[in-house]
Structure 1
Amino acid sequence: MFADPDTDGSHTHEAPAAEPAEAPQQLVFGSAEEFLHEQLLPTYVRDVDDRSAKWCMEWYFHPEAVSRVEALWRAWEHLRLDGATGMSVWWRDHADHHMRVLMDPQGPFYNCDKSGHRDPAHLEPKRAPAGWFPDVRLQG
């Protein structure tokens, strides 16, 4: 309660009630792995023949795959709340794109086959000469 400055203080006004904060939406899935097993793979069905499409049963050993599945999960959780076009946008802009990359025979699972996971060869680029890529966090 606060006093009205235009009066002698004998009248008080209620402070305006704060708008209730909108509760954050609950996640449907608790992890990228749960999303992969419960939503993504049951709905994204493809023939994986190692020639036109590949998948590694131990996908979690591939950092790129983990990052892409995580991105797919997070985007799905966000876009599912858009009842109009959210799922269409998710399929077009996220699922189709990332799954095409993941399942590409030259993609992150290129070295794996039906017999199992094989660690991919990692790129080991040389460092650029000092000063070529200054740390922008240190610039004013």
Structure 2
Amino acid sequence: MATDFDLYDTDTPAPAAAGQGAEKEPELVYGSAEEFLHEQLLPTYVRSVTGKSAKWCIEWYFHPEAVSRVAALWRSWEHLRLDPATGMSVWWRDHADHHMRVLLDPQGPFYNCDMKEHRDPEHLEPRKAPHGWFPDVRTIQP
């Protein structure tokens, strides 16, 4: 499954900054999106999940959208925690509240699951657009 970023590659160093004396990248608090979910997100983001107004899947990791959103929450938390002024407020407002509202929505990625059982989601089935409508921009010469 291709994603916007490699969810599991936390050992790759960031590109070196220009010049000597570049600051060292801060160490991550959590080593993975799953660790972040269990140790930080779910213990602090407590909601009633009855299946009517909110849904969750105990096997959340089988839902690609959920994996991507949890990884985004983790990465944004790791970045914003370093802002001592408003970092956490921004994280809650712009990231946690937004993504958790989508994840817990009864029509969200866990719509087909219940509290005790995972059920594979039905994937959207797209048709391919007519040839030439979406050219591969990697092959277009400037």
TM-score normalised by structure 2 residue count: 0.84
> Secondary structure at 1:38's aligned position in 2?
helix
One-letter amino acid of the counterpart of residue 31, structure 1 = S
One-letter amino acid of the counterpart of residue 28, structure 1 = V
Are 1:75 and 2:76 matched, yes or no? yes
Shift in Å, 1:137: 1.6
- After TM superposition, the runs of 4+ consecutive aligned structure 1 residues lying more than 4 A away are none
Aligned to 1:96: 97
Shift in Å, 1:62: 0.3
Unaligned runs of 5+ in 2: 1-18
Are 1:55 and 2:40 matched, yes or no? no
TM-score normalised by structure 1 residue count: 0.85
* Structure with higher RCO (Cα < 8 A, 6+ apart): 2
Larger radius of gyration: 1
Aligned to 1:42: 43
CA offset digits 1:16-73 (Å, max 9, x no partner): xx75221110000000000000000000000000000000000000000000000000
Aligned to 2:11: none
Percent of matched pairs sharing the same residue: 78
RMSD: 1.0
Aligned to 1:111: 112
